Amino acid sequence: MPLYLAEKKATLFKGEHKPVSLYLGDKKVTGYEYAEQTGEYLTFENTYNDSAYLKIIGKTVEIGEGEKSPDNPYELKGVGDGGGFDLVSCGKNLFDKANNLRNGAFVSGSTIRNDRDYIETNNTKYRVIRFDNLPAGTYTFSIIWNYTARILRKYDNGEVILVGLSSNNYTFTTNGGLFALNFRNTDSTDFTDDEFDVQLELGSTATPYTPFRGMQTVHFPYILRSLPDGTCDYIEIDDVAKTAKLVQAVKRFILSPNENWAISSQDDNRTRFYFYRDLGVLGSVYNSQRCTHFQPFTSYADMSGRVRDGILFETSFFNNLVVSNNIASNVSELKTWLANNSVEINFKTTPTVTDLDYEAVKTYYPYTNIYTISTVQPTLEGKIRVWTA
């Protein structure tokens, strides 16, 4: 049976919008349920001031154009390459007036400046909102006040664009990074900070205003990679067990000229080189390996037959590289080539588990967004307590 106050169905909370359930005997009358989502950006409704279970699943993208080859290598970029990544959880409204408004900068001409919070001309105040690490995506900016907002300029990660829009709402798409907006009222009167409310939300539709509820940012100084067969690194944050762990199942290896290279076989076109060392390889086919310069072989027969250039690292400790003779036809030439070319290989290995310091992923009443700030976006799996509306 539901719980009512007068004729209105009530939502039960404990303290400051924290989860609780009410039972009549052994039958639950009202309370929380679990909602689950998977994606790069998670948005939950009817959330409490609580914590979430979260799994951050690694991803590797291969960056390049044309056919991959020793003369046209690709870049392997994982989640967090370049210094780690940030995990952000916040309410629906991403706009924190205390930080995104008064600690802002303003767009002037073709530059963004950091020495002012607003521009004032003819007694009219031009305000600025600023986000230093806004993730790529589509957002809607809306302002609640007694004026019509005119957004004059936006600064999007290096590009200044004139907008000149007479509206209380503005939808924009950004590639991420530094983002700023100038806006003002349409008449000549000034206005103060307490005369308006601003909302910035994900998506292309302005929804009813909700106050900024808070924002938590946690930095993870790790790189999370993946392989074509689905093998991946991940971080799991368990809000029930109060644990956090890093699981790494993808190993990064750079081919070195200092290995004990030898020739296995050779013909007029290609040479098969190898070195014998246990690198912890699991699997020995294409979908469990990546390489910057070569496509891994899909079979041992293709590798042994030298049908093309490629790599094949094996569980038997033989680590094979087949190259055209114009690259190297003897060990000395191969070592010289490797000294001048950084050949990276990612392969499947026995997972290692590292315990991390647990920090709860916060959820907020009544909406929660969870996303990451990273050039390569991981997949997020979230499980959060919600109430039934």
Per-residue pLDDT tens digits for 340-380 = 999 999 999 999 999 999 999 999 999 999 999 998 999 99
CA angle 228–376–243, rounded 5-degree value: 85
pLDDT bin (cut points 50, 70, 90) of residue 387 is confident
pLDDT bin (cut points 50, 70, 90) of residue 104 is very low
Strand-pair partners of 383 = 36, 53
How does 259-271 read in b/e, with b if 16+ C-beta sit within 10 Å?
Answer: bebeeeeeeeebb
- In this model, does residue 174 exceed pLDDT 60? yes
Q: In this predicted structure, what is the pLDDT of residue 169?
A: 81
Q: Are residues 109 and 70 in the same domain?
A: no
Give the pair of three-digit tokens for residue 330: 């003897």
Q: In this predicted structure, what is the pLDDT of residue 165?
A: 60
Mean of the per-residue pLDDT values of the chain:
84
- In this model, does residue 41 exceed pLDDT 80? yes
pLDDT bin (cut points 50, 70, 90) of residue 283 is confident
Q: In this predicted structure, what is the pLDDT of residue 120?
A: 46
191-212 pLDDT, tens digit each? 566 667 888 898 899 888 888 9
> Of the residues 156, 185, 212, which one is the last residue of a structural domain?
212
Q: What is the mean pLDDT of residues 230-240?
A: 97
Q: In this predicted structure, what is the pLDDT of residue 55?
A: 98
d(CA 99, CA 181): 14
| 91-95, 131-135, 253-257, range with greatest mean pLDDT | 253-257
Comparing 153 with 2, the larger pLDDT belongs to 153
d(CA 33, CA 183): 42
d(CA 272, CA 297): 12
What CATH number is associated with residue 145?
A: 2.60.40
Identify the residue whose tokens are 């027969």.
Answer: 301
Q: Are residues 222 and 73 in the same domain?
A: yes
- In this model, does residue 132 exceed pLDDT 70? yes
- In this model, does residue 15 exceed pLDDT 90? no
- Give residue 305's domain range: 256-342
d(CA 200, CA 104): 15
Asked whether residue 17 is assigned to any structural domain, the reply reads: no
Q: What is the mean pLDDT of residues 205-233?
A: 94
Asked whether residue 9 is assigned to any structural domain, the reply reads: no
CA distances from 241 to 13, 236, 360, 368 (A): 23, 11, 11, 21
DSSP for 101-131 reads ITT--EEETTEEESS-SEEEETTEEEEEEEE
Q: What is the mean pLDDT of residues 246-253?
A: 98
pLDDT bin (cut points 50, 70, 90) of residue 177 is confident
- In this model, does residue 264 exceed pLDDT 90? yes
Asked whether residue 3 is assigned to any structural domain, the reply reads: no
d(CA 323, CA 195): 69
Comparing 235 with 178, the larger pLDDT belongs to 235
Any idea which of 77-81, 161-165, 280-284, 339-343 has the lowest mean pLDDT?
161-165
Asked whether residue 381 is assigned to any structural domain, the reply reads: yes
HEC string of 184-215 equals: ECCCCCCCCHHHCEEEEEECCCCCCCCCCCCE
Q: Are residues 82 and 155 in the same domain?
A: no
**Percentage of the chain with pLDDT > 70?**
76
CA 228 to chain centre: 19
Q: Are residues 278 and 223 in the same domain?
A: no
Q: Are residues 245 and 373 in the same domain?
A: yes
- In this model, does residue 7 exceed pLDDT 70? no
**Percentage of the chain with pLDDT > 90?**
57
Provide the number of structural domains found in the chain: 3
Q: Are residues 81 and 175 in the same domain?
A: no
- In this model, does residue 106 exceed pLDDT 70? no
- Backbone φ and ψ of 229, nearest 5°: -85, 5
d(CA 124, CA 121): 5
What's at 306, amino acid-wise? R
Q: What is the mean pLDDT of residues 63-75?
A: 96
pTM: 0.85
